[in-house]
């Protein structure tokens, strides 16, 4: 199911939000650093001014006391002395600027030597720290709002950007090769999306033309091939009823009849496989596996050698819902191969509730060829076939969800298993 978190519009909005968050973060860091640095510079200027003012007052009045307010506190003593009223942390400081904490209160300290006297001026930074903390809070709130606004603007803009793509998506999803819907590229601007829509429209037109040709071809093949084959089969059936035929003639007519029936079945199978399979395609036939296998054994019995025995074991009597012709093609190929490549020995056919197994004691398949037997036009060593039969079996099994397992040992025989449970062609 489509998730908004995987949509192109969401990714665009997320990109805008991340971009806004990064810009806000950089601006907040810059403003915070600037505000802190500017605050320290202003405090230093204030301390320098206080020291100069106090030096000037002492020049006018030697008894002037250093400032002692809530924010600023000063000390004056002779260099090299350590008066008791001066905190010990301040007594060893050389001239310069310092950041100290006294009694858990942060101070900015300036130390200056003038006329062999040391002037120490301290600025209480509690209020400054609170102002910086408040300013930082405002910056965080502003950055959050900026991120949210960026995401909202990104969502709106992404909606306009993605609208043509969403329109194209709807049209492609609703388009059908068999329908007469509007051309996909109608109404699009001649931009990148319009070009993409034009490409999709071109492919859809080609698919429609291909389907029309395929339907015409199927109809022609169905008529042009089945009609003469039906005529040939009718003539063969009439000839088989002629009691004046000799044994050799009857044998030849039977061979013609088998070949004609095989051609009719093959033509029907190929036409069915040529149609597009769909998940809701109705199943029209119920196949008795044991009855079909028994019929196919009789139909191909002429392939058996004089010293080859056939054993049919129906442990269950399953029925599957599938096209009878297609199921017959699968079974016929498995049984015909076993008969043809077992000049002597035995062929055992076992039918169970969910599977059909054909075991033979024939010539077997080379280990290097066993994995290629279902490839189209592949013919193993010593094979007289066309390489189409087992590839057609694979296509039919894929159509119905069946599974075919082939095991063989060269010179000892082959085992072919068809599993038809849990598939479209289900047992009933």
According to DSSP, the β-strands at 403-409 and 413-419 are antiparallel
Q: What is the pLDDT of residue 414?
A: 92
8 Å CB contact between 252 and 240: no
**407 with 369: CB under 8 angstroms?**
no
CA distance 382 to 228: 33
Please tell me the predicted confidence (pLDDT) of residue 250. Answer: 81
Provide long-range contacts, Cβ within 8 A and 24+ apart, for 74-83.
Answer: 74/50, 74/119, 74/120, 74/121, 74/122, 75/119, 75/120, 75/121, 76/117, 76/118, 76/119, 76/120, 77/117, 77/118, 78/116, 78/117, 78/118, 79/113, 79/116, 79/117, 79/118
CA 305, 309, 311: angle at the middle one, nearest 5? 140
Taking alpha carbons only, the member of 407, 406, 401 closest to residue 420 is 401
Q: What is the pLDDT of residue 49?
A: 92
Please check whether residue 204 is in contact with residue 177, taking contact to mean a CB–CB distance below 8 angstroms: yes
As given in the structure block, the two tokens for residue 389 are: 């039969």
Residue 422, pLDDT score: 59
Domains of the chain in start order, with CATH, are: 4-148 (no CATH), 192-268 (1.20.58), 280-419 (3.30.565.10)
Question: Residue 279: what pLDDT?
Answer: 41
How would you classify the pairing of strands 307-314 and 344-351?
parallel
Contact indicator for 325, 287 with CB cutoff of 8 Å:
no
pLDDT score for 231: 83
pTM of the predicted model, to two decimals?
Answer: 0.51
Q: What is the pLDDT of residues 254-303, one digit of tens each?
A: 888 877 877 777 777 667 666 654 444 545 678 899 999 999 998 888 88
Stretches in the chain below the pLDDT threshold 50: 1-2, 277-280, 282, 424-425
* pLDDT at res. 293: 94
């Amino acid at each position: 199911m489509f998730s908004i978190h995987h949509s192109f519009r969401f990714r665009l909005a997320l990109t805008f939000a991340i971009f806004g968050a990064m810009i806000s973060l950089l601006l907040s860091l810059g403003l915070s650093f600037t505000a802190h640095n500017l605050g320290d510079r202003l405090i230093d200027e204030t301390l320098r001014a206080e020291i100069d003012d106090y030096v000037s007052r002492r020049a006018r009045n030697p008894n002037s006391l250093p400032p002692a307010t809530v924010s600023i506190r000063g000390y004056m003593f002779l260099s090299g002395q350590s008066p008791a009223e001066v905190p010990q942390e301040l007594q060893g400081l050389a001239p310069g600027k310092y950041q100290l904490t006294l009694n858990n209160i942060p101070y900015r300290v300036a130390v200056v030597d003038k006329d062999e006297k040391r002037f120490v001026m301290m600025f209480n930074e509690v209020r400054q720290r609170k102002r910086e903390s408040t300013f930082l809070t405002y910056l965080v709130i502003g950055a959050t709002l900026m991120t949210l606004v960026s995401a909202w603007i990104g969502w709106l803009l992404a909606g306009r950007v993605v609208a043509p793509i969403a329109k194209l998506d709807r049209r492609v999803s609703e388009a059908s090769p068999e329908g007469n819907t509007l051309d996909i590229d109608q109404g699009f601007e001649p931009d990148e999306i319009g070009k993409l829509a034009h490409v999709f429209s071109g492919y859809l037109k080609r698919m429609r033309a291909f389907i029309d040709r395929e339907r015409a071809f199927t109809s022609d093949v169905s008529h042009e091939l089945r009609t003469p084959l039906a005529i040939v089969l009718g003539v063969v059936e009439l000839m088989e009823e002629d009691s004046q035929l000799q044994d050799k003639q009857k044998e030849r007519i039977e061979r013609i009849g088998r070949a004609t029936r095989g051609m009719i079945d093959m033509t029907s199978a190929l036409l069915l496989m040529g149609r597009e399979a769909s998940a809701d395609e109705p199943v029209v036939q119920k196949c008795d596996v044991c009855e079909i296998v028994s019929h196919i054994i009789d139909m191909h019995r002429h392939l058996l050698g004089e010293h080859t025995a056939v054993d049919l074991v129906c442990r269950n009597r399953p029925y599957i819902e599938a096209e009878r012709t297609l199921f017959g093609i699968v079974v016929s190929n498995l049984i015909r191969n076993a008969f043809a490549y077992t000049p002597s020995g035995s062929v055992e056919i076992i039918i169970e509730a969910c599977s059909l197994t054909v075991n033979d004691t024939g010539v077997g398949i080379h280990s290097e060829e066993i994995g290629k037997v279902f490839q189209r036009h592949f013919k193993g060593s010593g094979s007289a076939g066309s390489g189409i039969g087992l590839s057609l079996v694979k296509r039919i099994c894929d159509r119905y969800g069946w599974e075919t397992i082939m095991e063989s040992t060269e010179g000892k025989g082959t085992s072919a298993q068809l599993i038809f449970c849990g598939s479209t062609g289900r047992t009933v």
